[in-house]
Structure 1
Amino acid sequence: MSGLRDRIISTFEELWAEDHTDPAPELKDDTVLLETGIDSMGFAVFVTMLDDELGFDPFAMDSEAVYPVSFGEFVAFYEKHAPA
């Protein structure tokens, strides 16, 4: 598991804990993002938290609109834009 993946999962778990008492769902590569229990506003907050945590926002950096469907696609998108 990459360090970036770990940080994304940790941030997701932090966001989850703000509104839930139960443990966050396990995030696997094939986990569908819309089935995690986080709504679109929650994902906007999640991306903002990741920007603060990681220091970059790949959605603002990419010239095309990207809509990752699975957690694996989401992580790959972040890995593609991560500073070297």
Structure 2
Amino acid sequence: MNSAIRKVFNDVWDVEVPGQPAPELNDDTVLLESGLDSLGFAIFVSTLEEELGYDPFTIAEDAYYPRTFGEFVAFYDKYRPAV
């Protein structure tokens, strides 16, 4: 899951911030400090839904806003549909 999310982030980064290398993401990376703006994050989450086939933000009963990349990946893992 981590590598799939990281790949989508890098793909979105390349389109939204052309000519600049994507930041190194680790579990402690604060999402608001990653360099993507709010539109970039909306595109990121939308693209993840297309790639993964689900959106945990609509599945979760309570509103949750992951602060770090590690929390973001864990949130997607938690709501991953059973295969």
* Alignment TM class, shorter chain as reference: over 0.9
Query: What TM-score, normalized by structure 1, do the two folds share?
Result: 0.92
After superposing the two structures, state which structure 1 stretch, 15-24 or 61-70, moved more.
Answer: 15-24
Instruction: Quote the sequence identity (%).
Output: 54
Give CA deviations for 1:35-61 in whole Å, capped at 9, x if unaligned.
011111211111000000000000000
Structure 2: tracts of 5 or more residues without a match: none
Partners of 2:19 and 2:8 in 1: how far apart?
Answer: 16
Q: How many residues align?
A: 81
Q: RMSD of aligned C-alpha atoms? A: 0.8
Structure 1: tracts of 5 or more residues without a match: none
Secondary structure (helix, strand or coil) at the match of 1:23 reads: coil
Partners of 1:65 and 1:29 in 2: how far apart?
Answer: 21
Query: What TM-score, normalized by structure 2, do the two folds share?
Result: 0.93
Q: 2:13 maps to what in 1?
A: 16
Partners of 1:59 and 1:30 in 2: how far apart?
Answer: 21
Deviation above 3 Å: which 4+ runs of structure 1? none
Q: 1:44 maps to what in 2?
A: 42
Q: Out of 31, 34, 42, which is 1:33 matched to? A: 31
